[in-house]
């Protein structure tokens, strides 16, 4: 049986560029909609037994993706796909209800693999055979705001900008390409756009409303 036809719960994907505010919105949703199951590889949503995911992400950014060419693009993709498989596994473990909101799924990682130089890869076909969400909500945060948030947090990592220098132009160009590829990958799915809001709670409320509209389809 195709994984598209699995008995997993109905799920939706929250997507967006880097620093779009997905994790902040999901943290607000945790208290706002207690029955909603939230899946993410962000450490705020991981159980202690899944600490390996955080370590792998840190090693990916600090070592595998570091400039210098120490590792191939294929190796980089192999590291990145651990997060994809983890999310898939967690989804398949859940009961058929209640609904699930997942951070990015494979869409963002696939887009980043393409931006790293993998125009196509057998792994992409495998990911695309995973269960399909019932819809996607895109946090359409302006790139200028994402840059402001990145500067306030830390310097962008090598998987957040083009070239060798993490300046504004390199970051903006990368994030614009990332948004384009995200939209391309989810093009066949029901899509809702949530524009920038003044704070995470109002963003979460907008996401909640779009979830309800998608769930009623």
pLDDT tens digits for range 86-115: 999 999 999 877 889 999 999 999 999 999
- Minimum mean pLDDT range among 61-70, 168-177, 200-209: 61-70
> Per-residue pLDDT for 157 more than 90?
no
Distance of alpha carbon 208 from alpha carbon 32, whole angstroms: 9
Residue-range definition of the domain harbouring residue 172: 3-215
Average pLDDT over residues 54-80: 83
**Number of structural domains the chain divides into:** 1
Distance of alpha carbon 6 from alpha carbon 3, whole angstroms: 5
> Per-residue pLDDT for 5 more than 70?
no
Distance of alpha carbon 194 from alpha carbon 42, whole angstroms: 21
The CATH number of residue 23's host domain is 3.40.50.300
């Amino acid at each position: 049986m195709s994984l598209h036809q699995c008995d997993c719960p109905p799920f939706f994907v929250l997507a967006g560029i880097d620093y779009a505010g997905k994790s902040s919105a999901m943290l607000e949703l945790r208290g706002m909609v207690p029955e909603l199951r939230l899946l993410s590889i962000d450490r705020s949503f991981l159980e202690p037994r899944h600490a390996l995911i955080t370590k792998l992400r840190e090693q990916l950014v600090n070592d595998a993706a570091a400039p210098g060419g120490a590792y191939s693009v294929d190796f980089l993709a192999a590291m990145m796909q651990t997060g994809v498989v983890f999310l898939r596994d967690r989804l398949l473990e859940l009961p058929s209800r209640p609904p699930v909101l997942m951070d990015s799924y494979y869409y963002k990682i696939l887009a980043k693999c393409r931006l790293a130089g993998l125009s196509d890869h057998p792994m992409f076909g495998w990911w695309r055979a995973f269960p399909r969400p019932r819809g996607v909500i895109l946090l359409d945060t302006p790139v200028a705001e994402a840059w402001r948030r990145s500067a306030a947090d830390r310097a962008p990592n090598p998987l957040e900008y083009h070239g060798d220098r993490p300046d504004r132009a390199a970051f903006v160009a990368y994030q614009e390409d990332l948004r384009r590829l995200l939209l391309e990958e989810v093009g066949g799915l029901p899509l809702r756009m949530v524009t920038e809001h003044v704070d995470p709670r109002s963003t979460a409320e907008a996401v909640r409303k779009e979830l309800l509209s998608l769930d009623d389809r």
